[in-house]
Amino acid sequence: MSPNDQMNESRSKTGRGRIIAVANQKGGVGKTTTVINLATALAACGATVLVVDLDPQGNATTGFGLPDEARASGSYQLLTGSKVEPCETIVPGLKFIPTSVDLVGAELELVSEGQREYKLKAALEPFLVRFDYIFIDCPPALGLLTLNALTAADTVMVPMQCEFFALEGLSHLLQTIERVRAHSNPDLEIEGFVLTMYDRRNNLCRSVESDVRAHFGAKVYTSVIPRNVRVSEAPSFGKPVLLYDIGCAGAQAYIRLASEIMDLDSVPPPVSHGGATPRQFSRASEAAE
Ligand SMILES: Nc1ncnc2c1ncn2[C@@H]1O[C@H](COP(=O)(O)OP(=O)(O)O)[C@@H](O)[C@H]1O
Ligand SMILES: [Mg+2]
């Protein structure tokens, strides 16, 4: 069965896509990078993917190379009940709702409203029949924007940087997830923990990895994302790393993570010389040229 067939089959079982909030209240752990590149890898496998930039900093909006005009209508409008049509990106099959300048004020404005944590859930409902995956890039805080994301989501994905403080503060996120389950989204599940910026030569990284795996077991993806300079360069070219340099270790790791998430064993593992370019990725490679 081809990846596309598997994708169609999995969605046809439920008739709706899955909303994945990518959250961790720490900044700089790889949330935005994971959203951009995992979404791209899934789209390259034939999935229809929507990315919602819910961080007022707009790093995902910049990372997809969207012009400032695109920020006129985006996640603020979604939260305040306006109709928003996602814009195209350079990745076929991947659409995007950018951040908008007003998002900074949205948390304050929403505070006095009833049902305030359900705004995003209501706004995303119509998209569930159009997309296989909807990723929400959360801001580095556990405020009302993240609560909206967790209330709207089926699952939450947690990127963790392999550093000494990786587990610190995680209890706040887990408590917040429990609170959301108790109040606004009883079905919220953990999609998985992604280890990012991993350096195999670094003892500390390896010990953080074993701690995280000991704590969270099978919820930690087998695929880890290595620290890779190409991954950090790509946003300045307004491109996901898969379109910037598909052969680099970072791009290959995100392909592997996408394959793990789709439960596809058919996508070959990454190879150091970058030769693993599955047929499904040719569209993305072409778009990069
Ligand atoms: N695998 C990686 N290798 C190298 N740099 C990375 C990697 N992942 C993320 N970065 C860099 O780390 C910084 C923080 O990543 P980002 O995804 O913006 O984190 P967050 O969204 O959690 O704040 C960015 O400059 C990004 O380019
Ligand atoms: Mg970010």
* DSSP per-residue letters across 252-263: HHHHHHHHHHTT
Structure confidence at residue 5 (pLDDT)? 53
223 class by beta-carbon count within 10 Å (0-12 exposed, 13-18 middle, 19+ buried): buried
Please choose from 33, 61, 138 the residue to mutate so as to test ligand 1's pocket, defined by most ligand atoms within 8 A of CB: 33
d(CA 254, CA 44): 11
Cα(34) to ligand 1 centroid in Å equals 8
* Confidence tier at 46 by pLDDT (50, 70, 90): very high
Structure confidence at residue 14 (pLDDT)? 62
Q: What is the mean pLDDT of the chain?
A: 86
Structure confidence at residue 4 (pLDDT)? 53
Cα(137) to ligand 2 centroid in Å equals 7
Structure confidence at residue 236 (pLDDT)? 95
As a whole-number percent, the residues of the chain with pLDDT over 70 amount to 86
What is the average pLDDT across 82-109? 90
Q: Which atom from ligand 1 is nearest to the alpha carbon of 198?
A: 1
Cα(194) to ligand 2 centroid in Å equals 15
Q: Is the pLDDT of residue 88 over 80?
A: yes
What is the average pLDDT across 176-203? 95
Q: Which atom from ligand 1 is nearest to the alpha carbon of 26?
A: 22
Structure confidence at residue 70 (pLDDT)? 74
Beta strands in the chain (DSSP E): 18-22, 49-53, 87-88, 94-97, 133-137, 155-161, 189-196
Cα(37) to ligand 1 centroid in Å equals 11
Ligand lying nearest the CA atom of residue 24: 1
| The two three-digit tokens of residue 161, written as one number | 């940087």
Domains (range + CATH), the chain: 3-288 (3.40.50.300)
Cα(260) to ligand 1 centroid in Å equals 21
| Residues within 6 Å of ligand 1 by CB | 27-33, 59, 140, 196-197, 225, 227-228, 231-232, 235, 250
Shortest CA distance to 274 belongs to which of 238, 244, 248, 251?
A: 248
Residue located nearest, by CA, to atom 17 of ligand 1: 30
Q: Is the pLDDT of residue 283 over 50?
A: no
Residue located nearest, by CA, to atom 25 of ligand 1: 232
What pairing do the DSSP bridges indicate for beta strands 87-88 and 94-97? antiparallel
**Which residues does residue 133 pair with via DSSP β-bridges, in sequence order?**
18, 49
Residue located nearest, by CA, to atom 14 of ligand 1: 28
Ligand lying nearest the CA atom of residue 55: 2
Decide which of 105 and 10 is more confident.
105
Structure confidence at residue 205 (pLDDT)? 92
Shortest CA distance to 161 belongs to which of 196, 114, 112?
A: 196
Decide which of 283 and 254 is more confident.
254
* Confidence tier at 217 by pLDDT (50, 70, 90): very high
Q: Which atom from ligand 1 is nearest to the alpha carbon of 235?
A: 27
Cα(44) to ligand 2 centroid in Å equals 22
